[in-house]
Structure 1
Amino acid sequence: MFRVLPIVLLEIQLHLITALFTVEVLQPHYSANHGSDVIMGCCFPVHSPLDLTSLSVSWQRKLSELDKEVYKLNKGQEDLTQQDSAYRGRAAVLHEELKKGHSLLHITNVKLTDAGTYVCVVDYEGADYKYITLEVEAPYKRINLQERTEEGDLILTCHSEGYPLAEVSWYNERNPNVSMPANTTHELTNDGLFNIMSILRVKQSIHENYSCVFWNKKLNEKTSAHRPEVLLDKTDPSITGGKSSILFILPICLLALFLLTALVVVKVQKRKRFTNLCTQKGKRKKWRDLSKRDLDLQTKNLSVVAVTD
């Protein structure tokens, strides 16, 4: 009986150790944008240097029909034989974090189909698991706005991809609170995104600005693209031609004005020099006349004196 007691005590100790081994989540809910990366994690107790050969880690995605294996580490060795093809090359556990007691699943290029519930399972001095949810968002961040003219009308096109399906509205600066009628269509891409295209046809005017607004109701997010007046300068041939003519004529006018100004300055300078020359000639003539008059007067005086004598 006393020989059996140590075995019973050992079993009780092992049971207590197993009962004390628990897995905890770093956070229960994660959110990621479509096309980005995400790291989800759970933690487990490590009371001594990690014995990697005794550690098994498994990440699975819970589905109603069949669970998908996302990643598996068996006794310290990576085992991807049962990994689902959707995660191949995109999902892995950060090995350097395992010694800290962290099982971190890194998924790259997140897709809409990655959303759901994941299970983190750890087997090391006991076994436990926890659930983690991942939500994937696909906001309509990039809106491509293009324009063209057709039969005198302005054709505006807004295009973007996102999820879930967004509502598209068109506005102009004169009636910012009134939505303009447009033709809006959508289709699903291979990634599960909604490819939305909205076309607005209006009478062409360079005095109005237009904008299209994508409203993602679920995310309560609005994204807009604006068509400023300057875009017409690039697309309207008549306006472009007019501006080109102005840009061509303006330098010619400035050059002509410069030459005319220079010609006037030259003429003024010539006239000034001519006036100065005439003035100088007049002074010399007057001096000569005065000199001749004085000489005649002196001669006359001498004649008078001679006669008197």
Structure 2
Amino acid sequence: MKTFPTAAVWCFGILFISVSLITTGSSEVQVVGPADTVVALIGDDVILPCFLKPNVSAEDMTVEWTGLYLKTRNVHLYNDGRDSNEEQHPSYRGRTSMFHEELKNGNVSLKLTRVTLSDAGRYRCFIPKLMKETTVQLFVGAVSQPVISIDGTKGWGVVLKCESGGWYPKPEMEWLDSSGTILPAYGPPERHRDSEDRYTVRQHVTVNQTDTNRFTCRVNQTEINHLKETEIHVPDDVFPKSQVGLIVGLSILAVVVLAASAGVYKWRKDIEEVSKKAIKRLIEQVKDFKLAQKMKRK
């Protein structure tokens, strides 16, 4: 009878130690996510990182991925060694997966395919067994290639238009010459936002003829660190005749006119001189004839 309490004490002691060891082991395991925001473009496949540190196996654990929006969404559930997505939010159906072969290494990251703008936001990676979690911020952007067109002439230059649609967030646009120098445009770019929150940006610039006639339109989105560029070569014959050529032409024409005027003036002076000499000679001849007649009468 005296041994029963002793045995019971030992049993409770062993149980307490076991629970303490399990609790202590669990407290040492951390759920770790990325330090920075994960950035993706519309249509991309993206990985939301989540790991157990140290690298203990998560094969027998439950992993809950949820979206922390105004209303929490069930994004992906791994339970009892398999994916259990019966209550998954419809917008994620068929687009989520985990790396099952990496679970033994503590990799519980989520792969999200065909990203859309509505996927942007904060996600929670939660391990119920450990009562630990981390969050991942996903930022989704959209870009497109700029399109350049010639939009007429102005003065001695050519007007170029650059347009690019389908951007998110709001982008910046600038024009550059072949050396990379930013060209002055007609004020800030025009921006229009559609019903899907995507931006169309447009800007005009007048360029003068250069050695290369190459100009670049650049659209940049600093928040997602993406830019797109398009270059155009403007043919020489598109530019109006240069001012220098016109001045040279007018100068030559002025010289020709002055030369012609001088020639005409000299020709007129020569004609007048010849006429004066002829008249003078004729007068002298008349005087000589009259004098001869007078002498003959005598």
Range of TM-score over shorter length: 0.5 to 0.7
In 2, Cα distance between equivalents of 1:28 and 1:69: 23
In 2, Cα distance between equivalents of 1:171 and 1:122: 52
Contact kept, 8 Å, 1:28 with 1:131, in 2: the verdict is: no
- Gaps of at least 5 residues in structure 2 are 239-298
Residue correspondences, number: 225
Q: Which residue of structure 1 aligns with residue 108 of structure 2? A: 103
196-205 vs 13-22, greater mean Cα deviation:
196-205
Q: Which residue of structure 2 aligns with residue 228 of structure 1? A: 233
- In 2 relative to 1, CA 51–223 (structure 1 residues): closer, same or farther, beyond 3 Å? closer
Q: Which residue of structure 1 aligns with residue 6 of structure 2? A: 2
- In 2 relative to 1, CA 46–212 (structure 1 residues): closer, same or farther, beyond 3 Å? closer
- In 2 relative to 1, CA 175–224 (structure 1 residues): closer, same or farther, beyond 3 Å? closer
State how 1:157-306 maps to structure 2 within 5 Å.
157-170=162-175, 176-181=181-186, 184-188=190-194, 190=196, 192=197, 194-200=198-204, 208-218=213-223, 223-230=228-235
Shift of 1:17: 0.4
- In 2 relative to 1, CA 58–76 (structure 1 residues): closer, same or farther, beyond 3 Å? same
In 2, Cα distance between equivalents of 1:44 and 1:221: 33
Does residue 23 of the first structure (1) align with residue 30 of the second (2)?
yes
- In 2 relative to 1, CA 89–79 (structure 1 residues): closer, same or farther, beyond 3 Å? same
Q: What TM-score, normalized by structure 2, do the two folds share?
A: 0.60
Does residue 41 of the first structure (1) align with residue 50 of the second (2)?
yes
Q: Deviations over 1:18-45 (max 9, x none)?
A: 3312233263435232132222121266
Shift of 1:222: 5.3
Contact kept, 8 Å, 2:45 with 2:111, in 1: the verdict is: yes
Q: Deviations over 1:150-187 (max 9, x none)?
A: 99985624214333212323456799544221662322
Q: What TM-score, normalized by structure 1, do the two folds share?
A: 0.58
In 1, Cα distance between equivalents of 2:107 and 2:37: 16
- Identical-residue share of aligned pairs (%): 20
Secondary structure of the 2:94 match is coil
- Gaps of at least 5 residues in structure 1 are 237-309
Q: Which residue of structure 1 aligns with residue 63 of structure 2? A: 57
Contact kept, 8 Å, 1:139 with 1:216, in 2: the verdict is: no
Aligned mate of 2:137, from 134, 137, 145? 134
- In 2 relative to 1, CA 139–66 (structure 1 residues): closer, same or farther, beyond 3 Å? closer
- In 2 relative to 1, CA 42–81 (structure 1 residues): closer, same or farther, beyond 3 Å? same
Q: CA RMSD of the aligned region, Å?
A: 3.9
Q: Deviations over 1:173-204 (max 9, x none)?
A: 799544221662322463x4x33131537599
Q: Which residue of structure 1 aligns with residue 296 of structure 2? A: none
Aligned mate of 1:144, from 123, 147, 154? 147
Q: Which residue of structure 1 aligns with residue 259 of structure 2? A: none
